[in-house]
Structure 1
Amino acid sequence: MIVLSRADVEELLDVGALVDALAPAMADLSAGRAAVPDRTVAPVPDEDALLLDMPGYAPSAKLLISKLVSVFPGNAGSEVPVRQAVVVAFDARTGEPAAFLDGTYITAVRTAACAALSARLLARPDASVAAVFGTGPQARAHVRALPYARTLREIRVAGREFERSRAFADEMSGDVPVRAVASYEEGCDGADIVCGATYAVEPVIRRAWLAPGTHVTSIGYNPRGREVDDATVAGAALFVESRRAALGAVPPNLDLAEPLERGVITAEHVRAELGEVIEGTRPGRTNPDEITLYKSVGVIPQDIAAVSLILAAARERGRGVTVG
């Protein structure tokens, strides 16, 4: 078994390759080829936090993994990530432990890479301006992943504090210019792709701010809050990783759970899973002016795709510490 540090994982995981690898992973999920048991949850009431265990198996990767994730929303705005994780991987042919590796970076990058994949599948063909809301690790990963899915001329960023957003934009600018804006509304104005990567209590993505034809991605989770308003959820063509995971998430993601509970939408409002769009069994965008919404809750095949790439690169480069 090899042990890989966060530095190893960051060096070995190719974000562009991951965006590509997630397409067959999501297709496997929708076709029922991947094993995705329900996650188990251990609440930490004193901190309003959670520990999640997410096991899974993907035959295409010949990999069996379990990921432990802590979700501590109180860390938002600090140097400590809200989500922290470790992954244990097993050889699916023999059951032997294959690797123990840091999962915090994997969680951020696979989430952003799947949001980028959704933009590749669902944004208008001429989409060239993206807005990313948030300034933490998830937002950072989104800024890095989106250019692998679309040719962008600008990425706007917005957060709770403009000075922090400006420092973030200066740090992240590269081949694609990154510009800080003063508000979420300004970020939405004229953007073709709007990505929520926040821990918002009140929605930072609102239907009144979105132009016709916008593609929205939302990965935010706050046990007491919302990232997207009802009007956007109800008025958009809704896409998810898995109906079962999105509509029955434990703990619930309020962006979908609240509209479902109040009858704003029903389960039939989901147009398709991403894997169904990839396989061609369900439609994606049907006209240039419709708003499309990809709401992510995270599923283990995304992690399996990432871990598979990391382990292949580690073996090729001789990285990691062998134990056992």
Structure 2
Amino acid sequence: MIVIPEHLVEKLFTAEAAFEAVEAVFAAMSRREAVNFPVVRDMIGHADAVYGIKSGFDRAGLALGLKAGGYWPGNAQKGLTNHQSAVLLFDADTGRPTAIVSGNHLTAMRTAAASAISIRHLARPDARVLGMVGAGHQAGFQMRAALAQRDFERIVAWNLHPEMLDRLAGVAAEEGVPFEAVELDRLGAEADVIVTITSSFAPILKRCHVRPGTHIAAMGTDTKGKQELDPALVAAARVFTDEVAQSASIGECQHAVAAGLISREDIGEIGAVVTGTRPGRQSADDITLFDGTGVALQDLAGAARVVELARGAGPLVTVDL
């Protein structure tokens, strides 16, 4: 079994590699060539942590395995990333474990790739202002991925703790894009694309904040009870997701579905937009929403790509189980 540590994942798993892997697996999901198995995810009753196991199988790419890990909100004070995880891959023909891949950088990159895919396929072509809601570890990854999809001329950003926006300002400076911290009402009034990446359990963006034509990539809600958007905003949008079952149960759409404002049939798959079997944005005034819940197949596709790249990069650490 191959062991691929975090530093090697950081070196090999580029934004381009992540985008290609995730877009391909979204398409495979739409063609029903890949399936996610039921998720186990809950509070563990210790350190305020959320822990879960996601697994699946991509018959097209023969990626079989699981990701285990979660969110430890106190890790930042310990000098650690709040999200901690690892991916275990198995041989689809024999069931033998083939690789264990550190999942922290991989998770950030595949999550950013998912929102970037939604921006490429759903945002207006003339989108010029990027709005960022959230300034945690993954926000910088999200910003860089979003900037690659449109010719954004400036960035407006909000965070519950404004002092944390300095890290995003630094990323924006590296990318050469003007950056400004603003209040939510101004962010919604100016942004053509909004990326939300928080761990909120209460709605942040309201319907009144968002103007027609906006694309929203809601990337923070992946657990029952979490929430970044007012259900009325979800109901006003053309909604797409990575997987409908997760979106309606643990994703951003869980609240609008529970309130009877939308049904599961109202939620489209981003993979169907990628393959051209379902229309995406249909007018310049559409509010489009991508509910990025984070599915196992994204992690497996990313880990498989890392293994492929690592095999060509030199000697690897192997363990005989």
Deviates more, 1:309-318 or 1:256-265: 256-265
Q: Paired residue for 1:256, among 242, 245, 253? A: 253
Cα displacement (A) at 1:171: 4.1
Structure 1 runs (4+) deviating above 4 angstroms are 73-79, 222-225
Q: Where does residue 168 of structure 1 map in the other structure?
A: 168
1:162–1:182 Cα contact (<8 Å) kept: no
Aligned to 1:216: 216
Say if 2:158 is the partner of 1:158.
yes
Q: Distance in 1 between matches of 2:152 and 2:304?
A: 28
Q: Which residue of 1 aligns with 2:227?
A: 226
Check conservation: 1:66, 1:87, Cα contact below 8 A: yes
Does 1:315 pair with 2:315? no
Equivalent in the alignment of 2:241: 240
2: CA distance, partners of 1:133 / 1:77: 22
Deviation at 1:293, TM superposition (A): 0.5
Encode CA deviations 1:170-225: one digit per residue, 9 max, x unaligned: 24422341513132333323211100001123322222122210000101136554
Q: Whole-Å Cα distance in 2 between the matches of residues 53 and 218 of structure 1?
A: 21
Q: Give the Cα separation in 2 of the matches to 1:239 and 1:191.
A: 20
Deviations 1:68-102 (A, max 9, x none): 02233455787443321011112323433221121
CA RMSD of aligned residues (A): 2.2
Letter in 1 for 2:149: A
Q: Displacement of 1:39 after TM fit?
A: 1.5
Q: Is the 8 A contact 1:157 1:169 kept in 2?
A: no
The DSSP-based 3-state class of the residue aligned with 1:45 is: coil
- Distance in 1 separating the partners of 2:53 and 2:258: 26
Residue identity in the other structure for 2:152: L
2:264 aligns with 267
Structure 2: where are the runs of 5+ without partners? none
In structure 1, the partner of 2:83 is 83
Deviations along 1:94-115, whole A, 9 cap, x unmatched? 4332211211111121111101
Identify unmatched segments of 5+ residues in structure 1: none
For residue 134 of structure 2, what is the aligned residue in structure 1? 134
Percent of pairs with identical residues: 31
Give distance in 1, aligned partners of 2:125 and 2:269. 20
Secondary structure at the counterpart of residue 174 of structure 1: helix
* Amino acid paired to 2:295: V
Relative distance call for 1:93 and 1:225 in structure 2 (3 A) is closer
Which letter maps to 1:243?
A: V
Tell me the amino acid that sits aligned with residue 244 of structure 1: A
Counting matched residue pairs gives 319
**Matched ranges for 1:272-287 at <5 A:** 272-287=268-283
Q: With the length of structure 1 as denominator, give the TM-score of the two structures.
A: 0.90
Matching residue of 1:297: 293
Is 1:122 the counterpart of 2:122? The answer is yes
Single out whichever of 117-126 and 296-305 deviates more from structure 2. Answer: 296-305
Give the secondary-structure state (helix, strand or coil) at the position aligned to 2:25: helix
